Structure 1
Amino acid sequence: MLDLVKNPFDTTQTPHSGYHWDGSNRRFFEGWYYRVTLPWEGQSFAFMYSIEDPIGGKPHSGGAAQILGPDDEYLCRTFPEVSKFWARQDVLALGHWGKTDLNIQPRYLQPAEFELHVKQGYQATATLNQGEISDPGTGKYCRWQYQIQPVYGWGNQNSVQQSTAGWLSFLQIFEPGWQILMAHGLASGWIDWNGKRYEFTNAPAYSEKNWGGAFPKKWFWANCNSFLDEPDLALTAGGGKRGVLWWMESVAMVGLHYQGKFYEFVPWNSQVRWNIEPWGRWQMQARNSHYEVELLGTTHLPGTPLRAPTENGLMFCCRDTLQGQLNLELRELSNGQGKIILKAHSYVCGLEIGGGAWNNCWQSG
């Protein structure tokens, strides 16, 4: 029944690919992010799926699909019925049905069957992203269907994939959890955005997720896998204030996949520093015993407010652009000297700030 969710690249399936809800009634959310970039258009599409308090009957129980589209335009559809959400715990596979003529328990459908019977909703796996949503107030809509060929998960190619937050993320100590599901992949298919149809083959694709019962107080993020003259390069960087048992800590990381190799800069193996303005400038440096990386993301665009799960439900609490500029430099260290092994630039970087208290620059301590 679910042949398509079997990732053909078994080692690329990362930890935490499955659904995390344990069936309890504790406060809980899980969110998924899929993106495809069309470099020749200078545009990207980001699809954000979320479910909150899936046990149902709670003040914030429900799901949503949000899309950040061309020129950072925004579309959102909520799905209040948690009974029409489904997800698998063993592999990456999820969906939410809104308007449909089917009277069956929601589950994965073959793409042609889904397109015929589900007129509001989505389904997504490691190798497929498909759906249709519209805004009844404006009539604006998006329909999409594309296949995904994973290239990089989170770790070295053809190796066991890593948990983004390390082994501790398997315990309910750090919340929320965060996992890059696919640092880089190739997407082929189509997206219909308000009547304009985008068709693409082997376009850069990306996916990640987060989950838990607590919510980050503040965070920043930069992500790009479409660089000028560097087709085999993917960057994800971010940081935030998160709950660790009974205290809050500020952490950040930078991860690079380049020519089959994974360069990881995380708190337990590197020194990571950052200086993030309230909007417009993301600066990070990270250094371990072998390499150092420096990145600068900038934008003159205003960005678009997006909703994210909070203690008070899904609310506008972050700002994004998918048209940021990014300069990146990776150096190999030897005898205290840094030798440049990569310099790269992009005009289609995803940049985000979220949470509260963005009145001043946020600098690492």
Structure 2
Amino acid sequence: MGPNDGYICQFSPDVRTFWAERHRPALGATFKQAAGASGGRAPPRAPLSEDAFFAQVAEGFQATDTIQTGRMIAAEAGAAGPPLSTVPSASWSLTITPKAGWGATSGPSQQATAGWLSVLPVFEPHWQVLMAHGEASGWFQWGGQRYEFSGAPAYAEKNWGGGFPSRWHWVQCNTFDGQPGLSVTAVGARRGLVLGLPGVEEDVGLIGVHLPGGEFVEMVPWNSELEWDVDPWGRWWIRAINSSYEALIEATCEPEAGTVLRAPTTASGLAPFCKDTFFGRCRLRLWRRSGAGKQGAPLMDATSSTAALEVGGGPWWSGWRAKADMKEPFRSLVQLPLDVGGLSRGLPDLLKPPGL
């Protein structure tokens, strides 16, 4: 997805040149090597400098927590659905400075978005916010238009599993007016449970707020009550309450905003399955709650006109009103005070779970 809610897709069923590092966020793929770069040399399988990447890769990409580089063409043959690309090609090179991951910015380590159970093949799919807020600098060539920028807001997440949820909605914003350092990520999803429970799904959700100054407010199904009311397109209402906080997100966009994107599905592979816009209007309100459970004065009341909004899966014939209901025994298990990262710290890399 690109400027003005544009879209480009380069599809390839060949995964042999895809690579990913086991214990840090780094991945990439080469669709086509640059002229003169093959000569018996294998495609790269580790991050390269910008110059080295473009010298070796005619079509492909690489991404880590601090760089993103790529060049691609519109090539949708083999992907489900009609052609959707709005430009013939795109290329980019960015350097990224992470500001907030998923957890307090002053903490010794970050948190698993779905809790410690993320290291097990329990949920379908798994989801991790890698960078709730960051700053990106570099250039982006979108068709015939070149953009150069410095300190632009950045966000990154990771999904893994067989396919995206059967239904979901998502709101992300780190560009609130007059509130540098404020970020919110919210989601509601109908996900599968794959550990011995085929065909069983559950509705889960969360609201995560990184406040200016580094404090992190995490409202998840095992510590909060979450509910949402989301239209097929154009309106998002998400609320969470626990003993310490209450959060409310209200977001809207114009009916004509957004574009249909392909996403991984278990039934049809990469297929048109969601709709996104970067031109959402978002209001975030956050209150502290007293010991008596009463709502106090607003801790935060912020707005933005550049929120990222999404709906996916479905079908979305009508609005979706639901409450998060995480099933047992997972709801109890995820609350166990296990530090999987700490427990695995002394293990050889080959014995560590991927991602740690």
Query: Which digits, 9 at most, give the CA deviation of each residue in 1:311-352, with x for residues without a partner?
Result: 121000111111111011111112413210111111111111
- What one-letter code is carried by the residue in structure 2 that aligns with 1:284? I
**Are 1:345 and 2:294 an aligned pair?**
no
Other-structure match for 1:362? 320
- What one-letter code is carried by the residue in structure 2 that aligns with 1:162? Q
Q: Please state which structure has a larger fraction of its residues in strand.
A: 1
Displacement of 1:128: 0.3
Other-structure match for 2:73? 134
1-structure distance, mates of 2:227, 2:105? 27
Query: Which digits, 9 at most, give the CA deviation of each residue in 1:79-113, with x for residues without a partner?
Result: 33211111111110000111213331432222210
The 8 Å contact of residues 79 and 97 in structure 1, kept in 2 or not, is answered as no
1-structure distance, mates of 2:118, 2:27? 21
Once the two structures are aligned, what percentage of the paired residues are identical?
46
1-structure distance, mates of 2:211, 2:222? 21
2-structure distance, mates of 1:139, 1:291? 44
1-structure distance, mates of 2:192, 2:96? 34
- What one-letter code is carried by the residue in structure 1 that aligns with 2:259? T
2-structure distance, mates of 1:231, 1:192? 27
Other-structure match for 1:110? 49
Match of 1:231 among 171, 180, 183: 180
**Which runs of structure 1 show a deviation greater than 3 angstroms over 4 or more consecutive aligned residues?**
136-139
- What one-letter code is carried by the residue in structure 2 that aligns with 1:109? L
Query: Which digits, 9 at most, give the CA deviation of each residue in 1:253-293, with x for residues without a partner?
Result: 00010120111010000111100111110001111111111
**Are 1:83 and 2:16 an aligned pair?**
yes
Displacement of 1:170: 1.6
Other-structure match for 2:342? none
Match of 1:144 among 74, 92, 116: 92
Other-structure match for 1:164? 113
Which stretch of the first structure deviates more once superposed, 80-89 or 136-145? 136-145
Other-structure match for 2:332? none
2-structure distance, mates of 1:166, 1:217? 21
Normalising by structure 1, report the TM-score: 0.79
Query: Which digits, 9 at most, give the CA deviation of each residue in 1:212-237, with x for residues without a partner?
Result: 13541111111111111111111110
1-structure distance, mates of 2:144, 2:94? 17
- What one-letter code is carried by the residue in structure 2 that aligns with 1:225? N
Displacement of 1:118: 1.0
Query: Which digits, 9 at most, give the CA deviation of each residue in 1:161-198, with x for residues without a partner?
Result: 10000112221111100000011111111111122221
**Are 1:173 and 2:128 an aligned pair?**
no
Local SS of the residue matching 1:208: strand
Greater CA radius of gyration, 1 or 2?
A: 2
2-structure distance, mates of 1:96, 1:136? 15
Other-structure match for 1:37? none
Alignment of 1:31-50 (within 5 A): none
Other-structure match for 1:316? 272
Other-structure match for 2:343? none
Normalising by structure 2, report the TM-score: 0.81
Other-structure match for 1:254? 207
The 8 Å contact of residues 94 and 124 in structure 1, kept in 2 or not, is answered as yes
Other-structure match for 1:220? 169
**Are 1:304 and 2:227 an aligned pair?**
no
The 8 Å contact of residues 138 and 149 in structure 2, kept in 1 or not, is answered as yes
1-structure distance, mates of 2:128, 2:246? 23
Local SS of the residue matching 1:78: coil
Local SS of the residue matching 2:179: coil
Alignment of 1:65-104 (within 5 A): 68-100=1-33, 101-102=37-38, 103-104=41-42
Local SS of the residue matching 1:99: strand
2-structure distance, mates of 1:363, 1:146? 39
The 8 Å contact of residues 85 and 106 in structure 1, kept in 2 or not, is answered as no
2-structure distance, mates of 1:285, 1:179? 21
1-structure distance, mates of 2:305, 2:163? 34
2-structure distance, mates of 1:257, 1:353? 23
- Runs of 5+ in structure 1 lacking a partner? 1-67
Displacement of 1:136: 5.7
